[in-house]
Structure 1
């Protein structure tokens, strides 16, 4: 089932558009449309889609001149026939309409059925599991690439490991073993859409079947209707404090949990599964966040982060507390000012030791708020990679990951877009 060749039902050149941005009237949707207007090649055929033609026209009027004549497509997640009519018109559907568990199910199945490539921003593990179960086999048959998690969640995680794998393979240095991505530095806010996704997951987690998916470290590492039985202890914990020196001898202090680790780690493990365990038989993957290198101070800070995360997710499941949180947390569609977005940045570093004893580190660095400006770049370039670089892509179809679907081609596009992606041998 993994690594299946494309057998597209509709020839790529027969499509009216290269990319449709669905959800263009939302905050991140507008940012993505703006990025494409500023950076997509002039002959790229792009359209904007959403529920309201009036709102779409208003957004288009605010975009750079390159978007002035972009067509508008009216489609609504509550009307599956409108989604079917939309996806057959484009090579790639780029959607920012979340929470995906609530609004994304009909679109992903429509894209798979139409042989249309698909990219989104989801960090919702149960939604990706739904997509695998309901759309993977159809997408393999039609040749569609369904690619989830094409923003800050989870491109730095997924490409960080993939780039290590490529370099280690080129160096003939063995296989990856224990591998950890560290958010070394970050400045930015959490979007209202991300918060709303957390609300939906919190509600869904009351269902024992969903809870089993959330707690399974290999929840996404199998095919449709399959479940890899994996104990939580089989992979690094998503919520524990980590001794930095255990990750790499060059590091000091204590690392805190990273709040998106539970989604990112499962995407990376799916990449390894789709690549037939190419990362190696001893590959294990975790994520953490740097909070300083001084032992005592970093331990206190990391503990505070862990407690805060536990309190936040616990609070979402308690109705009276959730009502209070809902009054102070950003609402869907809310986001920081352009000035604040421009001040943001992130640096992630992924460390591994190979089966030959060699140590490597990959690093991904970007300017711009991770969840907004940098995410718009990553999502926009993912859509352009699928639409314009088809001859450079691996011959794979189905529910894929950024690394497996686009790999080197996406890395090249991101570098050209201003991100820094590199790999260094440490010893």
Structure 2
């Protein structure tokens, strides 16, 4: 389970940040006793403070001083461990030097990015290097995009086992209770600023296959809109645009392409957010849709940006422990296959999705990269949760209390049921 040629099995970089502390706490509670874990960040004093607040079993974890923009310190960090988990974002601003260090050292890597432009640049610059060294660079290992990516993987597995054909129409409906993280807000702001500066960035952001490893080979089948109009379904539930659909959908499509389009060449994949039923649901759907359209413009206009800065959470800030514990998420993904059969995947967990549940996801992703390499998919390079971690991460998350289930749906008089 450990590797004698590296001093550590897993290093958590960004351990002094809000999410980093949550990940450190998860690792201290759930990592195997023999796992060699270290904490990394810019300040040894702050790292020592974090370590002192962890259970006693973590009090001898080494502390590594490393700065996101100090190449020498990052090279030393990557060379000392089998795997790195990083919570230091926004990743387009702070993340590429660590990706490069891990790619060159053959060190496995996981992050929490929800930034299309960052993943595209990281893949363009370091995928080939990582494939040569055997490094798995696994992006988007939090609420963005583990539940959606693993749900579609499991749907594919079930349909293949049932000889039901390829996936054709797949739609995820996300419902959740939780706060918007300051890191997500800062990442969104960075994407908006880059899109204003660069026509190339705008083209990447608008392309539904912008994360594909082979754009020219992708289907010409139109993909669902990332910002659909409010819609009332047959069950009376209203849906509205899901904030992370424009990122999650591209991750799922990259997973499909990295596996030789195993899900289906004509796959259409989209995501929406469920907002309730009746008049309240209709009003909520209209409000979410309006906010989805206005938020980028508000971030781009200096007077409204200043107002948002005061109203939205700052980077490094987060909700109380009680609020995090009250959170939850449920992501229902319905699929129609090329043979006409229907399936449903459900991914769900207790805990604020952007904080508590995300800490579990990336913590278990890091442990999988560090300790389960012999069971992981035989791939290296710039990967997704489904292609880099696959069933190993599903099993780990189920063991941690998360739900990942797939059922086939049958037609009944009231519609489709499991």
Q: Tell me the TM-score range normalised by the shorter chain.
A: over 0.9
1:28 counterpart (19, 25, 39): 19
Please say if 1:173 is aligned against 2:157. no
Structure 1: how far apart are the matches of 2:312 and 2:102? 33
Does the C-alpha gap of structure 1 residues 169 and 244 become closer, same or farther in structure 2, counting only changes over 3 Å? Answer: farther
1:147 counterpart (132, 138, 142): 138
| Alignment check: 8 A CA contact 1:20 1:49 kept | yes
Match of 1:8 in 2: none
Match of 2:293 in 1: 310
Does the C-alpha gap of structure 1 residues 13 and 402 become closer, same or farther in structure 2, counting only changes over 3 Å? Answer: farther
Q: How does 1:358-397 map to 2 (within 5 A)?
A: 358-397=341-380
| Alignment check: 8 A CA contact 1:218 1:230 kept | no
Structure 2: how far apart are the matches of 1:70 and 1:62? 12
2:309 counterpart (326, 338, 357): 326
Match of 1:96 in 2: 87
Match of 2:102 in 1: 111
- State the shift of 1:13 in Å: 3.9
Structure 2: how far apart are the matches of 1:136 and 1:12? 24
Report Cα offsets for 1:267-288 as digits up to 9, x if no partner. 0000000011001122110000
- State the shift of 1:15 in Å: 1.0
| Alignment check: 8 A CA contact 1:343 1:368 kept | yes
- State the shift of 1:254 in Å: 3.1
Query: What's the Cα RMSD here?
Result: 1.6
Does the C-alpha gap of structure 1 residues 144 and 390 become closer, same or farther in structure 2, counting only changes over 3 Å? Answer: same
Report Cα offsets for 1:310-363 as digits up to 9, x if no partner. 122210011111011111211111000111111111010000111111110000
Q: Which secondary structure state, in structure 1, belongs to the residue aligned with residue 68 of structure 2?
A: coil
Structure 2: how far apart are the matches of 1:177 and 1:300? 31
Please say if 1:411 is aligned against 2:401. no
| Alignment check: 8 A CA contact 2:105 2:133 kept | yes
Q: How does 1:231-250 map to 2 (within 5 A)?
A: 234-241=222-229, 243=231, 245=233
| Alignment check: 8 A CA contact 1:340 1:369 kept | yes
Q: Which secondary structure state, in structure 2, belongs to the residue aligned with residue 21 of structure 1?
A: strand
Please say if 1:266 is aligned against 2:250. yes
Does the C-alpha gap of structure 1 residues 187 and 297 become closer, same or farther in structure 2, counting only changes over 3 Å? Answer: closer
Structure 2 gaps, min length 5: 411-418
Q: Which secondary structure state, in structure 2, belongs to the residue aligned with residue 190 of structure 1?
A: coil
| Alignment check: 8 A CA contact 1:217 1:230 kept | no
Report Cα offsets for 1:19-73 as digits up to 9, x if no partner. 1000000000010011000000011000000001111111111111111000000
Structure 2: how far apart are the matches of 1:112 and 1:277? 25
Match of 1:57 in 2: 48
